[in-house]
Every structure is written in structure tokens, then in C-alpha cells.
A and B are shown apart, each in its own frame.
Chain A
Amino acid sequence: MKKVIFVDDDESILDIAKLIFSKAGYEVNLFSDGMPLVQGNFELPDIFILDKWLPEWDGLELCRMLKAEERTKDIPVIMLSAHTDIKKLAGSAGADGAIEKPFDIRRLLDMVEKFTDGK
């Protein structure tokens, strides 16, 4: 079963993420901030999905950090944000994809599937 780590500070988004990814057959780990990622306190997933606006650690910072670490640098990262320029910002932080909020569930699942295909 493919593993997803989903980080967002909005409870209802985490709730939704749990529902849709479980339903789509993923194992999903939810975090409401970036602390576990910074501390390395997590099981390696097949993909990271990060919100941009997070307390303490900005999503883009987390992305850069993951991409800089040997352990995680090859794991795809999708940025998810209400920020209108998220695609550009995500690109410059080394993310593999970006989706603007409010998002279409289908698109998100398609993108996740694309990046984790063959793993």
C-alpha cells in the first residue's frame, strides 16, 4: 500500500485527506504542522503533500529541507495552497507539483497517482 504524508493545519482538510486517500487505497499519515518532518520523526512515504501556510515551518521551507536530505530527496512533494502563485513558488522550492486551493479531488488524486506510479 502506498503511503502519503499530508501536512495541513486545517482540521477539516486533514479529515478530507484521510477520507479520500483511504478510499483511494493509500495509507495516509496526517500532521498538523511540520515539526515531525523537521525532527525526522516519520516513516518514509511514497509522497509528501504539504500546505504552504503552516505554523512554525512554512511548507516551502519544509519542501526545500526534504529535497536537500539524502533520505527524502527522491520522494515527490506536492504543494497545496490557497496562494495564487503556488505553482511558481513550488517550482522554485523544488516541489514536483502544486495544486491551488480550493482543489478538485480528482485532480489531486490523479497527480498523486502519477507521481507514485511504478513504486
Chain B
Amino acid sequence: MIENRTIGEKYFTLLDAIDEGFCIMELVYDKPGKITGLVFREVNQAFEKQTGLSNVIHKTVDELLPDFEQQWIETFTNVIKTGEPRRLENYVKDTNRWYNIYFSVFGGGKSSQLVAVVFHDITECKRHEQQQEYLLKLSDTLRSVADPVAIEEKISRMAMEYFGTDRCYYCTIKEGNALIRKDAFREDLPSVAGTYPLIHFTLLKKMVDEGRTFVVHDANTSEMPDEALRKFCLQLQAISFIYVPVVKKEKAVGLLCLIQSVPRRWEDMEVQLAVETAERTWAAVERAKVEEVLQESEENYRAIVEQSITGILKVNLSRDIIFSNEQFAKRLGYSIRELTSMTLDDIIAEEDLERDKALFGRLIAEGKAYEIEKRMKRKDGSLVWVNNQIAPLFNNKGQPQAAVDISADVSRQKAMEAQKDEFISIASHELKTPLTSIKAYGQMLEEIFEAGSDAPNYGFIKKMNVQIDRLTDLVYSLLDTTRISGGQLALQPEFFDLNVLITQQVKEMQRMAPKHRIIFRASELSPVFADRDRISQVLSNLISNGIKYSPKGGDIVITAKPKEGQLKVRIRDLGIGISAEKQKDIFERFFRISNEATRSISGIGLGLYIATEIIQKHGGVLGVESKPGMGSTFYFTLPYSDNKTEDNL
């Protein structure tokens, strides 16, 4: 019993007034001095309210809170021995509450076996803490998982553990079905993963659609809106549960279910937390889905780029390489890492660099894509011929910000072309040797027979010599094409009178074309600076084309007039003409117009190709204006200065 009760009376009046729980406890010993228990001696009025325990005086802790006796006895002994107060936090399972407890020695002197205990309920605070911890853990987990199914699985497990339920799952609602991909469940329960048509549960569907959270404490007794649903719940041993639908844009998209196989009084806090969990799950699953789609699309494009057999390169406007695919790196013998620290200038052969830079400049300035065949340098220094298609990549303001270069190795084609050209070149040279003799013999024969009186034989020989000249021209043409494609067509320009050259050509051609009248309308011209033989070759080609493609005869009119710093030579015929779509092809190598009207016309289709190259090499243009049946006008221009003093030209 407490000795100085009167002083105690006063304090107790005071202690009854506070809302914290207070009690005085005493350690009880047996005869040999061994502790036998901890007994409640006094309690204040708040005690019962805080603990839910009544009539505790003279009872032991063991009787009321058996889990704590041992811990408390130790604490008491310690407090009494040291005189130091102690503070504990205890969870009391029976009341499902948390307490903060403060122990201190009661009464004076070292002999006191009394301890004063002040405590208060910190359950709300504790729960809040736990919720925060749970939500934090949830967020952490969701952040690290990228797969939507894995997210559903993890959340189901965590929520089941936190809420202490028997089952938990998140289903995705799509096209009227609830899809459960991974559920969490107590070991002795079966999984419910699968697809469930919501149409079978009309009311549930209605609640889901309305986005109402559905809380049932006991399916046996709770007012269930639908008997079919009750039956279903009982069948699944879902006795108490929380269903939280997630509604987005007025449509149910997900459903979180927390299920207990025994009745359970769900607290508001728990329901709120379930709603929060459902919302976060949906957000995480959505994010993961979007990422999945993005990743899939990204993988798709990556595969196309990486596994492509064409080389793909991305460069910025300073020509630094910022991306290369495997194929391109392999072609040049570099690693991708090496390439991405290099610039275009490092890998393009010197011979092609200026040309490429000029086109790249236009790409930046005008956003124009271009195609270029160029030599690239391999790591070992060897060269590889590559055909490149280079297109600008625009920013959102429509300005070029980078360029993508798609390229194919054309070394084989180039080698074959070179081989072919070499063959033509050798063959032509070989042909020239016997041709030289035949031509000379032919000419000598012609001279001999010209003097004599054998007219028929003289005629034959003349015809033979015309054919020899044709053969000679053919050989020259073949050689010219190989020189053009090898870039070896060199000009030997000089000043000469173009009027004289045209007049000579007209005279010569007229001899061979008795059916046609070749007319030259000369204008006053200053000397031109050009390769006389080559211009003669062009004229010869254009005039003979005019003759060839006007088989019925007619006039061929040639004019040469200066115009705006240029000299324009026009050769007009009244022949079969050329359709618009064929006009662009006729300048190609080996192209011949083929139709009924031209079948009998000979030639191998090199003349215009060579003529175009010759004129371009002079800095001029060669072109055609024509309509089928209305004849054609071929023209070419040459740079021209009207100044008569040659020094200024």
C-alpha cells in the first residue's frame, strides 16, 4: 500500500484532469526476493479511455497484457536501480493500438519499488507514419520496374502484405473485360488470374463505371446491392473486400481489389490508402506501357538501322559524325566509337572533298538533299567507292540541323566499269593499228584510180573509204567515252574563227548528204577560245544527226549568234523529232531512239553523250527543242566575249 496517501490524493486530483494515461505500478517479490510480478496500484481516469482496460487495480500485467510483462519488468528493474526514467513505444496487439510510455521511479528513497507510468495513444501518428512508409516503398518499387505485368505483381504483393489481406490484385479494364495478369494470394488459395467479362456482373460494372469505391465488411451480412454478386463473393471466399476502380476520361481503366476471407472492419484510412494505391498503380502501369511502346518502336527502328546492309551515318552541320551504323563502320574498318569522334572530312578522299563540301553547303543553305559518288578512306588508307544519298534533318523551325547519309558500296560496279572502259580502250587502240594501214591503202588506191579511167572501180574505192572513215569515227567515239568516264577528256583550247570551222564542216557534210540542203547563216563573230578539233567533232555529230533523223531530206539550218556573254550555235532539222520524255534520255551513254522510223538508222548512241561532255567541259550547255514530226533543234553554247582583242578573252 502507498504510505503517504494524503500527498498522493492531491496529485491524483491533478492527474485525473489530464488526458494522458497514468498509473503507478509495483514490483512484487516472493520470500527469497525473486520478482514474481508487476501489479497495477493506481490509475487515473484517462487510463481506461486510453487502454480500454477497466478494473485493473491489484491485477498483474501478466493477467492483462501478458506479452509485455517480461519487457516491462526489465525496464522497471532498470529504472529503480539507476533512478533514470525510460521511454518506450509499444504496440498492443489486443487493442490494435500504439502507445508511447514513460517510466520513472515513484516516491523517494532507494528502497521504493514503485514506478510511475505516463502514456498516451500514438496510434494515429504511427499509422500515418506507416502509410507514408508504405507509399514511399510503393513509389520506389514502381520506379524501378519497367514491365507493366511486373508492376501489377509487385503492387499486389506489397498491398497484400501491408493491408494484411488474403488476396490482392490489380486488373486492367479493357473493352468490357477485367484482365488479371498477376495476383497475390495466401499460400493455400488459388490464383484468380484470367480475363473476366464485366458484363456478367452488372452491378459491379455499374459501380466500376461510376468510379465508386466499393467497401464490404462482411459479404454474409452486408447490404449487397446484387444477390448474384453476393453469391459470387461467397463462392470466392471474398468475405470482406475493397474494390477501387480507376476512372480516366469517364471510363473505367483499372480496378484494385483487396480481399479478406473473413469479415473485416475496414477503416476509412485503409480505404483512402487503397484508393491512393490504385491510382499510383494505374499511373505506373500506364507509364510502363507507354515506355514499352516507345521502346518497341525504338527497337524496331534500331534494328532497321543497325541490321541494314546500307551504311547509315548522321552528321551535324559542322560535319562531325554523330552516329554510324555497324555496316558503315565495317565498310571503313573503323569501330563505331572511332567514327563518332571523326568528321566527314576525315573519311572522304582528297579528290572528292571539295565537291562534297560544296554540295553540303547547299544542303545547309537551301535544305537540299543530294547524291554523290565519292571515294572514302578506309582506316588502312585504301579507298572505297561509295554512292551516298545525303538528306537534311530539320528542326521544328524547318531549318536543317543535321544530315543523314545513306550509302552503298559501289566499288564492284566501279571496278567493273573501269575494267570495261579499259577493255574498250585497249580494243580501240588495237583496232587503230590495222585501220591505219587500211585507210592509207584505201587513200592511195583512190588517188591511183582517180587519175585513171576505171570509173566503176573508182566508185567502189570511194565507197570503201567512206566506210573506213565511219569505222575510224566509231573507234574514236569508243575511246572518247572511256576518256570521259575516266575523267581524262582534256581540252586544248586555242583562238579560232568559228564561222570558218562551221563553213568547212558544212561543206564536208554536204558532200555526204545529197538529199539535204545544209545552210549556214553566219553572223559577225569574234574569235572563240575553244578546242577546235572537239568543237568540230560536236558540229559534225549534230549535223550528221540532223541528216540521219530527217530521212526524207529537207533543209538543215545552222546559225551561230552571240547572246549575253555566250555564243549560241543552233542546228535545226525538219526530221522525225523527239518526244518530250525521250529528250532527257538522248544524252545518256549508249542511248538510241528506237522505233519504226529509226530502226534503219545506224549508230551506237555515243555521239550526243560525247558532244554533251565536250560542251560541258568548255563551260557551255548542249540541249534540244523538239516535237515529234516537227523536226528538232539542237543547240550548244560556249563562253564568249565580244571584245575583238584576243588578249582580253
A82 in complex: contacting residue of B433, B468, B492, CB < 8 Å: B433
CB distance from B532 to the nearest CB of A (A): 11
Whether B443 lies near A104 (C-beta < 8 A) is yes
A13-B436 in contact given A87-B492, A88-B492 (Cβ < 8 Å)? yes
Whether A102 lies near B435 (C-beta < 8 A) is yes
Q: Is A105 an interface residue (CB 8 A)?
A: yes
A13-B437 in contact given A19-B444, A102-B472 (Cβ < 8 Å)? yes
Closest to B441 in A: A16
In the assembled complex, the Cα of A20 lies from the Cα of B439 at a distance in Å of 13
What per-residue 1/0 map shows which CB atoms of B163-202 lie under 8 Å from chain A?
0000000000000000000000000000000000000000
Q: Is B490 an interface residue (CB 8 A)?
A: yes
A105-B443 in contact given A82-B429, A84-B483 (Cβ < 8 Å)? yes
Q: Is B627 an interface residue (CB 8 A)?
A: no
Q: How many A-B residue pairs have CB under 8 A?
A: 50
Whether B436 lies near A82 (C-beta < 8 A) is yes
Q: Is A10 an interface residue (CB 8 A)?
A: yes
Interface of B is mostly: helix
CB distance from A71 to the nearest CB of B (A): 30
Q: Is B479 an interface residue (CB 8 A)?
A: yes
Whether B492 lies near A10 (C-beta < 8 A) is no
Whether A103 lies near B437 (C-beta < 8 A) is no
Q: Is A2 an interface residue (CB 8 A)?
A: no
List residues of chain A with CB within 8 A of the CB of B319. Answer: none
Q: Is A69 an interface residue (CB 8 A)?
A: no
Closest to B468 in A: A102
List residues of chain B with CB within 8 A of the CB of A12. Answer: 434, 437, 441
CB distance from B239 to the nearest CB of A (A): 103
Q: Is A73 an interface residue (CB 8 A)?
A: no
Whether A101 lies near B444 (C-beta < 8 A) is no
Q: Is B92 an interface residue (CB 8 A)?
A: no
Whether B490 lies near A16 (C-beta < 8 A) is no
CB-CB contacts below 8 Å: A11-35 with B: 12-13, 16, 19-20
Q: Is B440 an interface residue (CB 8 A)?
A: yes
Q: How many residues of A sit at the interface, in one of the four size bands?
A: 10 to 19
Q: Is B432 an interface residue (CB 8 A)?
A: yes
Interface size for B (C-beta < 8 A) is 21
What per-residue 1/0 map shows which CB atoms of B485-525 lie under 8 Å from chain A?
00000101000000000000000000000000000000000
* Most chain A CB atoms below 10 A, which of B440, B483, B490: B440
CB-CB contacts below 8 Å: A93-118 with B: 101-106
Whether B492 lies near A20 (C-beta < 8 A) is no
Closest to B439 in A: A102
In the assembled complex, the Cα of A87 lies from the Cα of B533 at a distance in Å of 12
List residues of chain A with CB within 8 A of the CB of B480. Answer: 84
B436 in complex: contacting residue of A19, A87, A102, CB < 8 Å: A102
List residues of chain B with CB within 8 A of the CB of A56. Answer: none
* Most chain B CB atoms below 10 A, which of A10, A84, A88, A103: A84
CB distance from A30 to the nearest CB of B (A): 14
Closest to A108 in B: B440
List residues of chain A with CB within 8 A of the CB of B438. Answer: 102
Whether A16 lies near B444 (C-beta < 8 A) is yes
Q: Is A43 an interface residue (CB 8 A)?
A: no
List residues of chain A with CB within 8 A of the CB of B443. Answer: 104-106
Residues of B within 8 A of A (CB): 429, 432-441, 443-444, 468, 472, 476, 479-480, 483, 490, 492
Residues of A within 8 A of B (CB): 10, 12-13, 16, 19-20, 82-85, 87-88, 101-106
